[in-house]
Amino acid sequence: MIKLNTSHLRGDIFGGLTAGVVALPLALAMGVASGLGPIAGLYGAIFVGFFAALFGGTESQISGPTGPMTVVVAGLVASIAAHPDLSGNVALIFTAIMLAGVFQVFMGVFKLGDYIRLVPYPVISGFMSGIGGIIIILQISPLLGHAAPAGTVDALFYAPTAASDMNIMTLFLGALTLFIAMKWPAKLGKFIPGPLAALIIGTVLSLFFGAVPILGNIPSGLPQIHLPQITTVSLFIIIEAAFVLALLGSIDSLLTSLVADNMTRTRHDSNKELIGQGIGNAFAGLFGGAPGAGATMRTVVNIRTGGRTKISGMIHALFLLAVVLGLGAQASYIPNAVLAGILVKVGLDIIDWNYIKNSHKGPAWDLALMVIVLGLTIFVDLITAVAVGVILASIAFVRQIARTQMERLKQTDLILHSATGREKEILEQAEDLITIFDFNGPLSFGAAADLGHHARSQLEGGAHSIILDFTRMPTLDVSAALAIETITGDAKHQNRKVYKCGMNDEVLGVLKALEADKHVPESDHFATREQALEAAFANLPK
């Protein structure tokens, strides 16, 4: 049973209303940018905002249409419109949004929330900055008085044509809206948020400018139900879009949850938050709304103006519902260029300027990874960008760990430092005839690939005996076990000795199961490193 905390009711009411005012122009703009229309943006803010607050795991979070979700939906709208067998069937888009919500619920139920946050920061920075870039690029044509092309590349190619036949009034309105949204005084922002002020001023001024493209008729009243529709032709397109929406919406929401935690000194429940977001998106798709996620700016506004519990997010959604029921006709006069100016501000805010500014001071590989993901996001697609980014980051991490592990294995002074008195005595007397491999923790498969080469070089360099110390190795995988087999096989081929010590039952079980210790007799297995050293020293050539 869901319990609502009413101890902060006054702050929650004010915070929710203020967040709703901020969300109004953003929801309209996101709806237009998604290709579903302004009313879809409002419905998305209402349903995702209400149900994510009610069932989610972040008390003060405000949810609604966001940049990443909007970009994915815009791509899906374009794909379905261009498909000869789908005829621009909008119901398929809402089906994908519902399915994305179902995916998010399953992700929460199976407790995947903790794993989503393991995506490396350069990857997150790259695709967030790429999304910001996409939003800005798609607004070039509306700012110049033309309809926005569907894709990023198409928008870039169409930009010169739009510039050659630009509408000066729309460009002025868009630029003015952007300026007001960016430079609105903080003191005035306490009473009326910058985006809303920009929306009102830009719309009022447009009435004196003559003919400029406007939103046009916006439906008002309660939404219609859109039942799921899936055909064999659309199945793959819908599942792919739903997966991307679920993944990006989850990442976006959980990052915003971390921001809320830092501001309120609380701790959110990641998996519960995913369930709440999933329920919200499922309802949004069912009632013709755009998908949403935790929205950082709206959440920050809510917290700063007193919102602390789920009630604030629900009030934000109810406020927007009241707007839909009463102000749809007035919103139809909003110019496209004004919403484009607001969206450019959104795109600029999404770009990770802080990391870009300081990236040259950090590791070069992290910067390269961010640039790769950014480029793939803008010019290919989001799922490819995230997948390639995570794979490259994982490979780089494994390589770094492998290099660190191999360097440690080569540092004999560390072994001498940790050795007992008798062990040091034996090592000093044996000089370089005995080599110890001290596995300081699990051996990565990256290091395992180099381990055999390193052992071979030790044997060729004159080492008579190798001691493999497993004392601090809790587990062993197949790659490491086969590397051990390679070492022992090479040693036997060269008439050298290998001794093992400190193996626990799990490590020993893996070696036996894979027959990776077949070249080392049981008599050369020892409980401690000192015992192995005594045996190796006794068998050195006199």
Residue 78: per-residue pLDDT? 85
Tokens of 404: 């660190």
Residues 167-200, buried b or exposed e (16+ Cβ, 10 A)?
bebbbbbbebbbebbeebeeeebeeebbbbbbbe
Residue 499: per-residue pLDDT? 93
Other beta carbons within 10 angstroms of residue 4's beta carbon come to 11
Question: Which one-letter DSSP state was computed for residue 184?
Answer: -
Return d(Cα 147, Cα 140) in angstroms, integer.
9
Q: Tell me if 46 sits within 8 A of 324, measured CB to CB.
A: yes
Return d(Cα 29, Cα 61) in angstroms, integer.
21
Tokens of 171: 């460009």
The half-sphere exposure of 311 on its side-chain side, counting CA atoms within 13 A, is 17
**Beta strand pairing status for 63-64 and 293-294?**
antiparallel
Return d(Cα 293, Cα 249) in angstroms, integer.
5
Residue 413: per-residue pLDDT? 57
Q: Which residues pair with 522 in a beta bridge?
A: none
Other beta carbons within 10 angstroms of residue 539's beta carbon come to 13
Other beta carbons within 10 angstroms of residue 417's beta carbon come to 9
Residue 439: per-residue pLDDT? 82
Return d(Cα 377, Cα 383) in angstroms, integer.
8
Which of 384, 116, 124, 100 minimizes the C-alpha distance to 246? Answer: 100
Residues 319-332, buried b or exposed e (16+ Cβ, 10 A)?
bbbebbeeebeebe
The three-point CA angle 164-206-189 to 5° equals 110
Question: Which one-letter DSSP state was computed for residue 147?
Answer: P
Residue 150: per-residue pLDDT? 67
Question: Which one-letter DSSP state was computed for residue 431?
Answer: T
Nearest 5°: phi and psi at 116? -60, -35
Residue 416: per-residue pLDDT? 60
pTM higher than 0.85, yes or no?
no
If you search the block for the tokens 């995913």, which residue do you land on? 274
Return d(Cα 529, Cα 419) in angstroms, integer.
9
Residue 242: per-residue pLDDT? 94
Q: Kindly write down the DSSP assignment for every residue of 208-262, as one continuous string.
A: TS----B------SSPPP------TTTHHHHHHHHHHHHHHHHHHHHHHHHHHHH
Backbone dihedral region for residue 216 (phi beyond 0: left; psi -120 to 50: alpha; all else: beta) = left
Q: Tell me if 184 sits within 8 A of 197, measured CB to CB.
A: yes
Which of 210, 208, 204, 221 minimizes the C-alpha distance to 333? Answer: 204
Residue 60: per-residue pLDDT? 93
Q: Tell me if 382 sits within 8 A of 127, measured CB to CB.
A: yes
Tens of each residue's pLDDT in the chain, 542 residues: 677 888 888 889 888 887 887 788 889 888 988 989 888 999 999 999 999 999 999 999 999 998 888 888 988 888 888 887 787 788 899 999 999 999 999 999 999 888 776 778 888 888 778 878 888 898 899 899 888 776 788 888 888 998 998 889 999 999 999 999 899 898 887 778 788 888 889 888 888 877 788 877 767 777 889 988 887 888 888 998 999 899 889 988 988 888 788 778 888 999 999 999 999 999 999 999 999 999 887 888 788 778 899 999 999 999 899 888 876 667 778 888 888 888 888 888 888 888 899 888 888 889 999 999 999 988 887 768 878 888 898 888 888 887 877 777 666 555 665 677 888 888 888 877 888 888 877 777 777 777 777 777 777 777 788 888 898 888 888 888 888 888 888 888 888 888 999 999 998 899 888 888 888 888 899 999 889 998 989 888 76
Question: In 351-420, where does DSSP find H-type helix?
Answer: 353-358, 364-379, 382-410, 412-418
Cα 173 → chain centroid: 34
Return d(Cα 4, Cα 448) in angstroms, integer.
54
Residue 490 burial by CB count (10 A; 0-12/13-18/19+): exposed, middle or buried? buried
Q: What's the one-letter identity of residue 246?
A: A
Domains of the chain, first to last: 9-396 (no CATH), 411-538 (3.30.750.24)
Residue 395: per-residue pLDDT? 86
The three-point CA angle 526-530-531 to 5° equals 35
Residue 100 burial by CB count (10 A; 0-12/13-18/19+): exposed, middle or buried? buried
Residue 221: per-residue pLDDT? 72
Residue 151: per-residue pLDDT? 74
Segment holding 359, helix H or strand E: none
Question: Which one-letter DSSP state was computed for residue 433?
Answer: S
Tokens of 389: 């980014």
Other beta carbons within 10 angstroms of residue 242's beta carbon come to 25
